Amino acid sequence: MQRIFNDPSRVTEEALEGILLGHPDLLAKTENPRVVRYVGSPVKGRVGIVTGGGSGHEPAFVGYVGKNMVDVVSVGEIFASPSAHIFRDAIRAADGGAGVAILYGNYAGDNMNVKMARRMVGADGIKVETVIANDDVASASKDEREKRRGVAGEILMWKVAGAKAAIGASLEEVIRTAQKAIDSTRSIGIGLSSCVIPAAGKPNFHIEPGKMEVGIGHHGEPGVKVDDLKSADEMAQIALDYILPDLPFNSGDEVVVLVSGLGATPVMELYIVFRKLTELLGKAGISIYRPYVGNYFTSLEMMGVTVTLMKLDAELKALIAAEATSIGLTQPKLS
């Protein structure tokens, strides 16, 4: 294993310690070492945004804690949901008296731990609501959308909900916009190589040389098909072939495009995919309001790319336009 760590069982702890040391202007510790908050959160009278998930997806999830973004994050072991206690402590840390929105991805472990955490804080009188992201079109058919996984589209959900909470919206309003954000978002991943959890010490799964897996999940969950390795342009086409008809996205739509590497992909190659996406979307009459290209949501050292599209309406557009500061996403107010 050609990797950089000390004790394989302490990778999450040590990485998190480093992240906190590296971003004292953004991130603050809480009593629970697996719960990290934005230095400016919670704000009294404002809805708190909580997310969380397994580690190994950096900058997700901790990297989206910040101004007008996520208030508090729960940090799990690599590829494992944070425990119920971690989510519970995150809810408490995010509470400013106006309720807490937990916005997370659709995975069995996260669902169970969030469910238990909500029960645990029941007696505290904190109002808690959830939105469960399910933007990955490859993980289940359209008529079983509730089974789909949440992937990179979660970032756009946090962006929208964080901006909404920042303007003082009620919990109900924050939840409604977060739900609208994810309902308007579709993603797909293409994987070219596997990844190694340090404590496991060997690849999680296998992709043969010369092959690629279309629809791969963020933990190497198998996709919809294994295909011969294609060119960047063909990958862009394949991604859109799955995403566009699913929502569907139509001519005249305005979208956000998010292209993320899975950890090992050279960033320049992400731009080659993005270049083709721009051309193909143009031909389809779909205009790009805001692109995000880079390593936004990774899977350790997996080689591959994810493509996410969010269809905008006036409300979502204004929330995407808001200023934001976090490790993973920083932008001035867009015009």
Partner 1 sequence: MNSYPTAEGRKVLLALIETIDTNGAYLSEIDGATGDGDHGINMTKGARRTKEKLGDQNVTVPQGLDMLGQVLLAEIGGAMGPLYGSFFIDMGAACGDSPAIDKEVFGKMLKAGMNAMQDLGGAKVGDKTMMDALVPAVEGYEKAVAEGASFSEALNRMAAAAEKGKEGTRDMIAKLGRASRLGERSRGILDAGAASCSLILKSFSDSFQSAEQK
Single out the catalytic residue among 23, 57, 85, 206.
57
The SS3 of residue 321 is helix
Task: State yes or no: is 219 an active-site residue.
Answer: yes
CA 228 to chain CA centroid, nearest Å: 28
CB neighbours of residue 5 within 10 Å: 13
Sequence-ordered alpha helix ranges (H) in the chain = 11-22, 84-94, 108-120, 153-166, 171-183, 232-243, 267-283, 314-321
212: part of which helix (H) or strand (E)?
A: strand 211-214
Q: Which amino acid is at 97?
A: G
Q: Is residue 85 near partner 1 by the rule CB under 8 A?
A: yes
Which of 23, 67, 118, 219: binder of partner 1 (CB under 8 A)? 219
The minimum distance between CB 161 and partner 1, in angstroms, equals 23
Which of 23, 92, 118, 149 is close enough to bind partner 1 by CB under 8 A? 149
Residues within window 107-146 making contact with partner 1, judged by CB under 8 A: 107-109, 112-113, 115-116, 139-140
Q: How far is the CB of 310 from partner 1 (least distance, A)?
A: 23
State how far the Cα of 324 lies from the Cα of 71, in Å rounded to an integer: 12
Q: Which H or E element spans position 186?
A: strand 185-191
* Both tokens assigned to 2: 């050609």
Joined tokens for residue 200: 């496991």
Distance of CA 255 to the CA centre of its chain: 17
Query: What is the rounded CA–CA span in Å between residue 329 and residue 158?
Result: 11
Pick the catalytic residue from 23, 206, 218, 219.
219
Q: Which is nearer to partner 1, 89 or 253 (CB)?
A: 89
- Give the contact letters, 256-295, x = binds to partner 1 (CB under 8 A), - = no: ----------------------------------------
Stretch that binds partner 1, among 105-113, 232-240, 266-274, 315-323 (CB under 8 A): 105-113
Q: What whole-number distance in Å separates Cα of residue 18 and Cα of residue 129?
A: 31
- Nearest CB to partner 1, comparing residues 238 and 300: 300
Q: What is the closest distance, in whole angstroms, from the C-beta atom of residue 16 to partner 1 in the complex?
A: 14
Q: List binders of partner 1 among 41-80 (CB under 8 A).
A: 54, 76-80
Alpha-carbon distance of 288 to 280, in angstroms, equals: 11
Pick 113 or 184: Cβ nearer partner 1: 113
Give the span between the Cα atoms of 307 and 186, in whole angstroms. Answer: 8
Q: What's the min distance (Å) between Cβ of 211 and partner 1? A: 15
How far is Cα 152 from Cα 264, in angstroms, rounded to an integer? 16
- When the beta carbons of 139 and 177 are compared against partner 1, the nearer one is 139
Closest CA to 325 of 88, 77, 189, 159: 159
Site for partner 1 in 167-196 (CB under 8 A): none
Please count the residues of this chain forming the interface with partner 1, following the rule CB under 8 A: 35
CA distance 306 to 139: 13
Smaller CB separation from partner 1, 188 or 319:
188
Task: Name the one range near partner 1 by CB under 8 A: 101-109, 158-166, 272-280, 288-296.
Answer: 101-109
Question: Smaller CB distance to partner 1: residue 32 or 308?
Answer: 32
Q: Which residues bind partner 1 (CB under 8 A)?
A: 9, 54, 76-86, 107-109, 112-113, 115-116, 139-140, 147, 149, 197, 199-200, 202, 204-205, 217, 219-222
The residues carrying an active-site annotation are 57, 219
